[in-house]
Each structure stands twice: as C-alpha cells, then as structure tokens.
Amino acid sequence: MRASVYPEEARHAKEGQEFEKIFRMRSNKKSGKARGAEALAAVIAWAALACAGSLALAQTAPANTAPGKTAATTIELPPSPEALVPNAFDGWVAAAPVQALTDPAQADAAHADALKEYGFSFGALGSYKREGETLTLRALEFEDASGAYGAYTFYRPTGWPKEQIGAGAASNKNRVIFWRGDTVVDANFSQAGPMSVGEMREIAARLPLPAGNKALPPPILDFLPPQSLTGQTTHYAEGAAGYAGAGGVLPASVAGFDRGAEAITANYALMSGPATLTIFEYPTPQIARLEEDSIRNYIKAGSKAQPPWPQPLENSDLASLEVRRSGVLVALVSGDAVPDESHELLEKVHYEANLTSIPQPVESEIARTGKLLFGITVLVGVGAIVAILLGFFFGGGRALYRVARGKPASSVYDEEFIHLDLRDGAFDLREDGNQERAAAPGPHPKG
C-alpha cells in the first residue's frame, strides 16, 4: 500500500483501520451465534444420516466370525444302555452290566439286514435275576416310530394274543414283545407270572419318546380297510429282507423294493373265507404303474413264473387273486375268499393325495428390504425436521432478541455496509473502546 505524505490522511487512515477492527470483532461476535446454530443443525443432520447408514449395514451385512475362533464341532455320543433297560426294577437285579448294542449284527445276527432296513440305531441287552428266576430284556431303538413298528411286526408272530403295553404288545407263554415310541422291547421270562405284564408296563413307561415326525407311525397303515381286519396280523416292511422274513405273499424281487417300495400285509376274515391283503406304496404313480404290470404278469405266469410262487400264493384260490392300482398304491388280494368278496375288499383301497402347503416365511427378502429403506427414509426425514426446527429456534430467537433491542431482525446490512464518518464532527476512538466527538479541525496547514 502506498503511504500518503499528508498527516491528516494518515490520521484518518488510522482511524479507519481501528473502526474496521472493531466492526469485525462485533460482526464476528454477532454472527457467531448464527453460525453456531447452523453448525449444530448440520451436525444433527449428518448424525441422522450416519445412524441410518449404520442401521442399513447392521441389517444387511452378514455376521463375521471373530478372528481366531473356529466353528465348534458337535459330537453326538450314543445313549447309555441304562436309558433303555434299567439295572434294577420290581425286584429284578441285573446279573451283569447292561450290554450296549451298537451294530445290527450284534443285536440280531440272523436278521441284521432287516434291522438295517428298519433303521436300527442303538440297543441294550440286560440279564436279570430274582428269587431263582431269570429274565432277558433286549431293547432296540430305531430312527423313528415307523422303524420300531416295523420291527415289532417283524418279530411278533401272527396271531399272538394282544397285551396292553406301550403302543402295541403281544405275548405267548414266557415271551412278551412290545413297542413304544421308537423302541422295541423283547422280554423272555424263565417263568412268566401274573405280574409279568405289569412289570413290562413299568419298562415301557421309562422308554424315551421321539419328537416331531419321528413319533408318527407309518402312513401306509391308513390305507388298510378296518372292516373284517383280523387283529395282530399286520406286518410292515421297508425293504426286501423285512418283507421276506415276515412271510410276504410275493417274492421280494417282484415287489420292487429296489425302487423305494414300502409294504403292509394284513389278514381279513371275510364271510366266504380268509383273505390276505397286501398293499405296496411307491414314490410316484409312474413307478406304481410299472410295478402293477410286473405283479400282474407274474401272477398270470402261474406255474411258469420265475421265481416260483411262494407258499401263500400256492395256497390261494386262483380266481380270487387280483391286482389293482390306486395312485401310488398297488394292492394284491389273495386267499380263499370268493372272487366277489376279494374284489370288494380290493375296491376299498383308495389313495387320495393330501396336498400340504409348505409354510412360507412371514416376511420375504423384498418385504424386509422395503421396510429397511422405509426406515432409513423416516430416520433421515426426522433428522431433517429436527435440524430445521433447531435452525428456526436459534435463528428466530436471535432475530427476536435483536428486535427487542430495537435493531433490525437481520444483521446482514450491518455486515455489508461499513460507514466511517470522516467529516466535521466525526468521532474519535478512545483507548477504552468508546467513541467521542472530535474537535473541529483547524485550518489546513497548507492553506
């Protein structure tokens, strides 16, 4: 800046600099409140946006595994054999520690294949003594109640008297067999007494029970007509070994167990004679149609059939043998009943598909995303409204304060116009910051 040679100009310039300094200090002081309000509103708005972003990340980002930690491996140990048969009950005391059966061949070497088909999982074998008598308990646990029921019908001979133990029971002299839940118990007494059945009820009450679908019996049982059904004659098979071991009417190779078949066999006391109804259930109607043709052709072959007819077919009336398909079911009736009654029994087997809707999640991914975006929008809107209200509060409060003091509501004009009165009667700046009117200047030294 170029210096002036005139002392008056230097003095007025100095006064102008002092006024400008004071004005800036006052302007900064006055506008600081407004800038503080604006800064506070901006911070709140950014905080709202940050919260919304954090919420979005929290709901969409997958959970990360903490560093240095590995997923835990769950090892499921087999149940204790004492869970199936106790060490002592009703005066019976175990003569030796209860033996765990972990393999089908260990549980029953002669019928290991059948136990595998029924889903054998664990077992226990206990030998007991009481006052010179002996008792052997063999408990076999399966994957579900269907396997337990099938094993029960496999071990229970046809026609044994029924007992009230568990879900089903039968006895013959010194042997009692029953099932409950997913467990089958075979008891052999040295001398059965009047209280033997009651003692087995105590064992049945201690057996663990499965939950959910594992507690359901085989659905194929619902297709057996209840009229004229002879009790204690049903046999359920999930494979070829179980079907053949229970005395199936057809050869297991003809029944189609290699295609996922299940079979139920039951005897009926019809007016004209006994009849045997066998129902095969296949995975699809197409497979059932193929197996129906195969079974019908096998029966038509008669003495030329390969493999040869089993004894139940040999003892049947040829006129009463009939095959019929209904959906995924293939039914075969055999025995000595007259053809009309056999046909009537066969017509009672009807398959009706029960379509069950699969429950869907309450909220889909699209609905969750929409809710997330809506929540973010609401949060940002609330933050913006709060910022605006705070701006009005601080800015309006400051304007009211200025009006109350007799000043304009806005200080914009104070900031834009700087007025320095350098004419006669101008003010001088004192050391204490106040102004006083300066004396009228004398004549100019230069005239």
> Domains of the chain (ranges plus CATH)?
7-60+378-437 (no CATH), 80-217 (3.40.1000), 218-353 (3.40.1000)
Residues 172-180, mean pLDDT to the nearest whole number: 95
The per-residue pLDDT for 352 is 79
What is the pTM assigned to this prediction?
Answer: 0.64
The pLDDT > 70 percentage for the chain reads 71
d(CA 411, CA 335): 112
Tally DSSP H helices, then E strands, for the chain.
12, 16
Q: Which residues contact 328 (CB under 8 A, 6 or more apart)?
A: 281, 282, 283, 284, 285, 287, 288, 351
Q: How large is the angle between the packed helices 7-60 and 365-404, nearest 10 degrees? A: 150
Q: Which two tokens stand for residue 89?
A: 């009950």
Length of the chain: 447
Residues 166-170, mean pLDDT to the nearest whole number: 96
Per-residue pLDDT of 295-317, as tens digits, reads 999 999 998 999 999 999 999 99
The per-residue pLDDT for 260 is 94
d(CA 98, CA 380): 69
What rounded mean pLDDT belongs to the chain? 81
Count CB atoms within 10 A of the CB of residue 23: 15
Per-residue pLDDT of 384-394, as tens digits, reads 999 888 888 87
pLDDT above 60 (res 9): no
Q: Which residues pair with residue 324 across a beta bridge?
A: 331
> Dmax over Cα atoms in the chain, in whole Å?
157
- List the one residue out of 324, 320, 276 whose CA is nearest residue 296: 324
pLDDT above 80 (res 170): yes
Residues 57-72, mean pLDDT to the nearest whole number: 47
pLDDT above 60 (res 91): yes
d(CA 337, CA 331): 16
237: left (phi over 0), alpha (psi -120 to 50) or beta: beta
428 or 284, which is more confident?
284
Count CB atoms within 10 A of the CB of residue 290: 15
- Surface-to-core class of residue 394, CB atoms within 10 Å of its CB (0-12 exposed, 13-18 middle, 19+ buried): middle
d(CA 18, CA 20): 5
pLDDT above 70 (res 38): no
430 or 354, which is more confident?
354
Instruction: Decide: 425 and 440 in contact? Cβ < 8 Å.
Output: yes
The dihedral built from the CA positions of residue 185, 188, 189 and 195, taken in this order, carries a sign that is: positive
163 or 38, which is more confident?
163
Per-residue pLDDT of 314-359, as tens digits, reads 999 999 999 999 999 999 999 999 999 999 999 999 997 665 555 5
Q: What is the three-class DSSP state of 401?
A: helix
What's at 285, amino acid-wise?
A: P
In degrees to the nearest 10, what's the CA dihedral of 21, 23, 29, 34? -130
Count CB atoms within 10 A of the CB of residue 67: 5
Per-residue pLDDT of 203-261, as tens digits, reads 999 999 999 999 999 999 999 999 999 999 999 999 999 999 999 999 999 999 999 99
The per-residue pLDDT for 321 is 94
